[in-house]
Structure 1
Amino acid sequence: MPKPKPYSIKMFLPVGDPDGLRIIEKSNWTGEGIVFARAGFEEDHKKRKEFQRTGVYVLVGQDDTSSLPQVYIGEGESVDARLTSHFAKKDFWTWGIFFVTKDNSLNKAHVKFLESRLIELAAKAKRCNLTNCAEPTKPSLSEADTADMDCFLDDMLSIFPLVGLSIFEQPPRRPCTVSKLLYIESKGIKVKGCESNKGFIVLAGSEAVLKTVPSYPESFAKLRDELSKKGVMVRKGDLYVFADDYLFSSPSTASSIVLGRNSNGRTSWRNKEGKTLKELQEAVASASVND
């Protein structure tokens, strides 16, 4: 994996509201990301020329029956026309983000390619509930256009987490070095994982208890159910086994899911010498102070 390169992001708030319309630009990039709230859509789309351009968009909402966000991914030769239709007909979403270019250089084939790739990545990451009815057919692009769109996609993916959308994030291919591995062995299960700058990764082959305690938080119960339905956790006998590496938002969420009870991840995860994550972090902090 190549080492990530530094870059700068510029965010402009045209109405001065951090929860309202935001225009996002990246250094040396022709693209623009526009974040908007459903509540302000009727006014925003009439004032901003970006809405009239060809682009790809993501609509985001939350279902009370799920702990994962609901998402719809689409494209349009005029983003405004598609979003106006969704404003009238789709109830679930509360905010969205779309990407266009400053010179309007994206065409229909470009955005259909980007739409297809985003749906593919979201389905693979299994961190949201896609409301798209069918996976679109990826258009045939020239070799040069494919390379350009792959680069454009990389820039989009670098922006999504900055606006709180981590549904495309996946664990790296080799997520945990041996020295960074952490373990849980409790209630007859064995679990391996590690911290990353994107969250906490539980490795494929790790186990989770089948039954949860009566006081188990509803949000975790929903997440366990969804991970089971998506095939991340597969039942084998009297326990679950992780079929894939999975990225959780925190060590505590990860440990709570595998143990079937509310758990403090900083004290539940231990290295091979038996030191807790909390002890390891405190040792790093202490060394920094002494230096």
Structure 2
Amino acid sequence: MSNGLPFSLRIFVADGDPDGLRIVERFNASARAVVFPRALLPQVKARPELQQTGVYLLLGPRPDGEGDLLYVGEGDPIRPRLESHYAQKDFWTRAIGFVAAGGLLNKAHVQFLEARLIALARAAKRVPLDNGNFPGEPTLSEADRADMEVFLSHMLGMLPVLGVHAFESAPQVPVTTGIEAAAPVAPLLYCSGKGVEASGYEATQGFVVKAGSRAVVDVVPSLQQNWPARITQRQDLLNSGVLVADGEALRFTQDYVFTSPSLAAVLILGRHTNGRTKWRDAQGRTLRDLQEAEAGK
């Protein structure tokens, strides 16, 4: 969630280890993040930030090893909740806790933040949730709700810098079909084969496949044999409703962000392919051609 305005983050490596405890603050904002690997919880649990009311994320590999799993929680304070998860939840390998400078968050605030983060993750469908319950938003005053929306926007601006993209839905980027435009826009690209066609464009988050794009139902045997992770990712899209059956093909129900044009093309066509050459604009120029021409300017 970006408002397009530049901002600064201060990252303090508290123990001198870049992979250890980090305190992240956004200039002129109250949101403060505490980032650390699971193994350090016994050492960092005495940090004053973890004695405060806040919201937290637990991240780690999925049981099948393909991609991440996410848990969103809140604590008043955070520390007891993290200690409980340390003993009872096996999947997570790192944690990110968010508190407000000066301890300004209360229980209702963090319940609101937890509910909003879960709703955003469920809408984006980029990372599966380990949460068993999906809480509703608590009742807040108009002023408190406005303050928490600002706090949330600051959190969402910080998280991609920390490598967390679970809450990002596909960005709304202006596209062009090839006609020159006055302002910079992303060219609309097409991927077709085996009776299906998809459209999409490159964005800062990755490669966006547009809603209404179609994908094949069946995949080639070599993809199943040599790239089982791709089969898992495809099934995830079906399970989450991003892909649904539509006649003799599958259809994207929403704009969806892939990490690369190649991954998008593979899941659309059901076979291994190079997205840089498979995605083309309305004039037939490949994504590689367009990028090389742009780089040569």
TM tier, smaller: over 0.9
1:20 paired residue number? 20
Q: Assess, with a 3 A threshold, how the Cα gap between structure 1 residues 153 and 126 changes in structure 2: closer, same or farther.
A: same
Structure 1 residue 235: deviation in Å?
Answer: 1.4
User: 2:2·2:157 contact (CA, 8 Å) conserved in 1?
Assistant: no
1:148-188, CA deviations, whole angstroms, 9 ceiling, x for partnerless residues? 00000000001111111100011134663444100012111
Partner of 2:52: 53
- Amino acid of the structure 2 residue aligned with 1:256: V
Displacement after TM superposition at 1:132 (Å): 1.0
1:263–1:58 CA distance, 2 compared to 1 (3 A): same
Match of 1:286 in 2: 296
Secondary structure, in 3 states, of the residue corresponding to 1:130? coil
Counterpart of 1:252? 262
Residue 227 (structure 2) pairs with residue 227 (structure 1): no
Residue of structure 1 equivalent to 2:138: 139
**Aligned partner letter, 2:41:** F
Distance of aligned partners of 1:178 and 1:148 in 2 relative to their CA distance in 1, 3 Å threshold: farther
Q: What is the Cα deviation at residue 129 of structure 1?
A: 1.1
1:40-189 → structure 2 map (5 Å cutoff): 40-46=40-46, 48-65=47-64, 67-173=66-172, 176-179=175-178, 180-189=187-196
Q: Which amino acid aligns with 2:4?
A: P
Where do 5+ consecutive residues of structure 2 fail to align? 179-186
Q: Alpha-carbon deviation of 1:64? A: 3.9
The whole-number CA distance in structure 2 between the counterparts of 1:31 and 1:183 is 41
Contact 2:30 2:151 in 1 (8 A): no
Question: Which secondary structure state, in structure 1, belongs to the residue aligned with residue 156 of structure 2?
Answer: helix
* Residue matched to 1:34: 34
Moved more, 59-68 or 101-110: 59-68
Deviations 1:215-237 (A, max 9, x none): 21111111000000100011123
TM-score by length of 1: 0.95
**Per-residue CA distance 1:198-256 (angstroms, 9 max, x = gap):** 11100111111111122211111110000001000111233211111111111111111
The more displaced of 124-133 and 234-243 is 234-243
Identity of aligned residues (%): 47
Change (3 A) 1:52 1:61: same
SS of the aligned residue for 2:95 comes to strand
Residue 194 of structure 1 corresponds to 201
The answer as to whether partners of 2:198 and 2:214 remain within 8 angstroms in 1 is yes
Tell which deviates more after alignment, 123-132 or 232-241.
232-241
Equivalenced residue count is: 286
Q: CA–CA distance in 2 between the matches of 1:105 and 1:33?
A: 14
Q: 1:115 to 1:177 in 2, by over 3 A?
A: farther
Q: Tell me which residue corresponds to 1:265.
A: 275
SS at match of 2:222: coil
Q: Please state how far the C-alpha of 1:68 moved relative to its aligned partner.
A: 3.6
Contact 1:269 1:276 in 2 (8 A): yes
SS at match of 2:192: strand
Q: Relative to structure 1, is the Cα distance of residues 99 and 196 closer, same or farther in structure 2, using a 3 angstrom cutoff? A: same
Task: Look up the SS of the partner of 2:42 in the other structure.
Answer: helix
- CA distance, structure 2, for counterparts of residue 74 and residue 63 of structure 1: 18
2:213 to 184, 187, 206: 206
Instruction: Find out whether 1:276 has 2:283 as its counterpart.
Output: no
Compared with structure 1, are the counterparts of its residues 250 and 175 closer, same or farther at alpha carbon in structure 2 (3 Å cutoff)? farther
Separation in structure 1 between the aligned mates of residue 144 and residue 157 of structure 2, nearest angstrom: 20
Query: Residue 198 of structure 1 aligns to which amino acid in structure 2?
Result: Q
